Each structure stands twice: as C-alpha cells, then as structure tokens.
Structure 1
Amino acid sequence: MTIAPADTRPPADVLRAAYTAFADVVRPLGDEESWRSTGCTGWAVRDLILHCVTDCQRALVALHTPATGPPDRDAVTYWRDWRPDPVGAANGRRWIRVGASMFLDFGQLRELYLETAAATVTAAAATAPDRLVATQGHVLTAGDLMTTLAVEAAIHHLDLVVELPDAPGPSPAGLAAVRATLDGLLGRPVPLAWSDEHYARAATGRVPLTEAERRSLGADAERVPLFS
C-alpha cells in the first residue's frame, strides 16, 4: 500500500531543501570535525560525506539515463529492496572508509560534496518529474527518484549531526518525505506520537523500540526496521 506524501511541493524543491540543509552542515566543517562519529556504524563524518557524494553521483547518472516503462518502483516501494544485510553493509562500510581515507585534505572532500550536490539539484530542477529513469536495476519516475534522494539525505543528515550539537537539523520538507515514505511502507500512519526525527531513527533501526512502542505497533513491530 502506497500512501501519498502530504507535502505537495514539486519533488525537485523537496530535494533542493534536503540537500541545501545537508550542505549547510558540511560547509563549515574542518578536519577535526570530520573525524567525529556519526549515526552510521563504523563511519566518521568524512566517511558519511563520501557516501553522500556517491548518492549524488548516482542521481546524476539516473537523471541522464532515460528508461522505457512501465515503472516497477515508486518513491515508497523503492525502499522494499533495502533490508538489513550484515555482509553487504560490512563490505559497504569498508569500501567507503578506504575511499575517504584517500582524501588527505578534508577540504577537498568537502568541496567535492558541495559541488556535486549543487549539480544534482540543478539537474533535478531541469528534469520533468514524470520522465522515466533507471537506477539500481529499477525504473521509476524522475520525481519519485528525487523523493528517494531527499529521504536518504534527510536520514543521513540525522546521522551526520550525532556529534555536531550546534549543527542545524534536516529540512522540514525532507523529514516530511521521510514520514510519508515510512507510513507508506508501514501501510498506515504510525500509531505513535513520534517526532519526525524519532520516527526516522526508530523505523530505520537507528534506535531500538521500547516495549511500550512495540505494544503500540503490534505485529508491525516485527517489521522494523522498515528499511536500513
């Protein structure tokens, strides 16, 4: 069951908001902050930033890779493939750590992210949201692709600022897209008075569910994390 996002703004605008908020955290960071821990197991700030560079690069490729239909994924069902995979996750962590370690000057990595994210936002704004594109073996509309990118950016924004207490938080538009996506995967609005931030963390396995939360979710508690 897919639940339509409550935010009616164009997907490119939601993506712009999510990426701009993330970039606002990255832009002032120095080498010392780049070594702080994040909400992603085994990754420092610099590792997570490199991972987000690869998200932007994938987005640029997808936005310039037209596909024939019909779509086999939308902004919600795209995430059904992203289930916990300990071996794959460990390999991915290792690959990113090695890659990030090649940047002896963190400023180069920081600028790579900022310029690549800006290019992604520009490309998204120039792409019709109903255009079909291909990414990761699936076909979806460009608008749905943009929404998935905004969702990932908003969740990783929460990961990024774990040890950056003075950093600004994710964009409200990005968090609204996360909530809509998680409700769509759950099949109903979550029956708990969770903030957008806590919902994002809890439903993706970043914080454990309490016993009271499990009781409220009922059988759906066994489906958490909804994606990781």
Structure 2
Amino acid sequence: MSSPELAALRIAYSDISTIASSLEEEDSWLPTRCLGWTVRDLLVHLLGDVQRALVALATPAAGPADRDAVTWWSGTEPTEDPGFRELRTLRTIAGAWELEDLVRTFMETTRAVVALAGRTPPEALVATRGHVLQAVDLVTTLAVKAAVHHLDLVLELRRPGPRTEPLALVRCTLDSLLGHPAPTDWPDERWALLGTGRVPPGGGERRALGAAAARLPLLC
C-alpha cells in the first residue's frame, strides 16, 4: 500500500512518538481531554490500539467487508468514557510501566504497523473486532483515531497538535458521518474537536449545523 491514508498514519504515529519521547515523568501524569485520563493512560490506550492494528493487518479475512472507513464508527468503536472499574484498570496498567519502556514499545509497534501496512495491498481484507474491512479503510480509521487522540494528548502539554494530513482525514470522516461538508471556514482542528465532542459548539457553530448539532459527537 502506498496511499495518502498510509502517509497520514505515518505522520500521525511519528508525531505522537516525538511527543512521547520528549516527556518527563511529571508530564506523563498531566490530564488530557479524555475525562479522567492522564497522558500516561492515553499512551497505554493508544498502544493497545496499535497492537490491535498489528494483529488485524496480519489477519487476512474472507469477504465481504461489512465496514469501511466511515461506517466503522457506527457502533464498532467502543466508547472512550470508561466507568470507574475500567479507568482503575487502565491506571493500574499505566502506572506499572516505566515511562521509557512505554514510549519505546509504542514507537517500535507503530513503526511495525506502518511497515506492515506498506506491504499490504489496499484492497486486502482484514479482520478486527468482529468486523471485516479493507486494509486502506483500517489505516484510515487508525490515522483518524491517532489524530483525535493527539489533540487529547496535548491539552496541557506545550507540544504541537496534529498536522494537516491526519486532520484532513478526520475532517473527511466527520463530513461523511454528518452527511454533508461542515462550513469550509471552520479550521480542521476546530471541526475535529467539535465533531468528536471534545468541545461544545458555540452559538454560531450550532446555528450553522442546525438540527445536526444534536447528533454530536459524530465519533468518539
């Protein structure tokens, strides 16, 4: 696979890796946009998703595909508003990691995912979470999720947000879920935050969305 989607995933994972490798221990306990999650918690969550991707890309599936890069978000992706027990489990795992080991494992695994995706035909069918989709659609969902969590990660870190390529995939996905393009004067980052429920729409934004404002968030 050699595609804009894979290029966006490579950028998304590389940028998160750069942030992670720059963290001091105290940085890893700062809050994120995910309610109750620290930076360290979110990195562990992201690592789990990257490991899932590695398994999926190595798991050829029989067709037909029952999800694509847009419909994946319709009830397939689990909520990221965990209860107390789930959050306690995540915190226990996150606290058990040495930060250096967590960062190294994340970086190694993301590089493996990008390398394996690059050797996988875009139309190849893969299986994950009980569903089948094309490899290029899996890669798109991974880039979207990484970009959104990049925004979550930097809430209180003085680090850059996601770059244009991953954010463009977020915008495209949100527009498809919405059913029409969001106003073109909304920056990609703002629409990403609005469309995923990270921030509430302002008055003008709510009027621009009309009845669709009640459907937010379009993905979590």
For Structure 1 versus Structure 2, the TM-score category normalised by the shorter chain is: over 0.9
Secondary structure at 1:157 match in 2:
helix
TM-score normalised to structure 2 length? 0.93
Distance 1:85 1:15 in 2: 22
1:216 aligns with 2:208: yes
**What amino acid is aligned across from residue 206 of structure 2 in structure 1?**
R
- Check the 8 A contact 1:71/1:132 in 2, yes or no: yes
Alignment of 1:95-106 (within 5 A): 95-103=89-97, 105-106=98-99
**Closer, same or farther: CA 17–85 of 1 in aligned 2, 3 Å:** closer
- Check the 8 A contact 1:74/1:141 in 2, yes or no: yes
Give the ranges of 4+ consecutive aligned residues of structure 1 lying more than 4 Å apart after TM superposition: 82-86
Alignment of 1:102-113 (within 5 A): 102-103=96-97, 105-113=98-106
Spell out, residue by residue over 1:80-103, the C-alpha distance to the aligned partner (whole angstroms, 9 max, x if none).
1158858x6225433321210112
**Greater relative contact order structure (CA < 8 Å, 6+ sep):** 1
**Closer, same or farther: CA 89–168 of 1 in aligned 2, 3 Å:** same
Distance 1:114 1:221 in 2: 37
1:53 aligns with 2:47: yes
Spell out, residue by residue over 1:43-83, the C-alpha distance to the aligned partner (whole angstroms, 9 max, x if none).
11111000110011000000011111111111011011158
Deviation at 1:39, TM superposition (A): 0.9
Distance 1:126 1:102 in 2: 34
**Mean CA deviation greater in 141-150 or 107-116:** 107-116
In structure 2, the gaps of 5 or more residues are none
Q: Which position in structure 1 is the counterpart of 2:57?
A: 63
- Check the 8 A contact 1:40/1:159 in 2, yes or no: yes
* Coordinate RMSD, CA, aligned: 1.8
- Check the 8 A contact 1:31/1:107 in 2, yes or no: no
Spell out, residue by residue over 1:6-47, the C-alpha distance to the aligned partner (whole angstroms, 9 max, x if none).
xx9442222111111111111111211111111111111111
- Check the 8 A contact 1:203/1:227 in 2, yes or no: yes
- Check the 8 A contact 1:24/1:168 in 2, yes or no: no
Q: Which position in structure 2 is the counterpart of 1:196?
A: 188
TM-score normalised to structure 1 length? 0.90
Secondary structure at 2:82 match in 1:
helix
In structure 1, the gaps of 5 or more residues are 1-7
Distance 2:153 2:199 in 1: 15
- Check the 8 A contact 1:66/1:131 in 2, yes or no: yes
- Check the 8 A contact 1:38/1:159 in 2, yes or no: yes
Secondary structure at 1:139 match in 2:
strand
- Check the 8 A contact 1:175/1:197 in 2, yes or no: yes
- Check the 8 A contact 1:84/1:227 in 2, yes or no: no
Q: Which position in structure 1 is the counterpart of 2:24?
A: 30
- Check the 8 A contact 2:31/2:37 in 1, yes or no: yes
Distance 1:58 1:193 in 2: 36
Q: Which position in structure 2 is the counterpart of 1:122?
A: 115
- Check the 8 A contact 1:11/1:129 in 2, yes or no: no
**Closer, same or farther: CA 65–9 of 1 in aligned 2, 3 Å:** closer
Candidates 131, 135, 139, aligned match of 1:146: 139
Secondary structure at 2:15 match in 1:
helix
1:186 aligns with 2:205: no
Deviation at 1:193, TM superposition (A): 2.4
- Check the 8 A contact 1:130/1:143 in 2, yes or no: yes
Secondary structure at 1:33 match in 2:
helix
**What amino acid is aligned across from residue 52 of structure 1 in structure 2?**
L
1:205 aligns with 2:205: no
Candidates 160, 164, 167, aligned match of 1:175: 167
What percentage of residue pairs aligned between the two structures are identical?
50
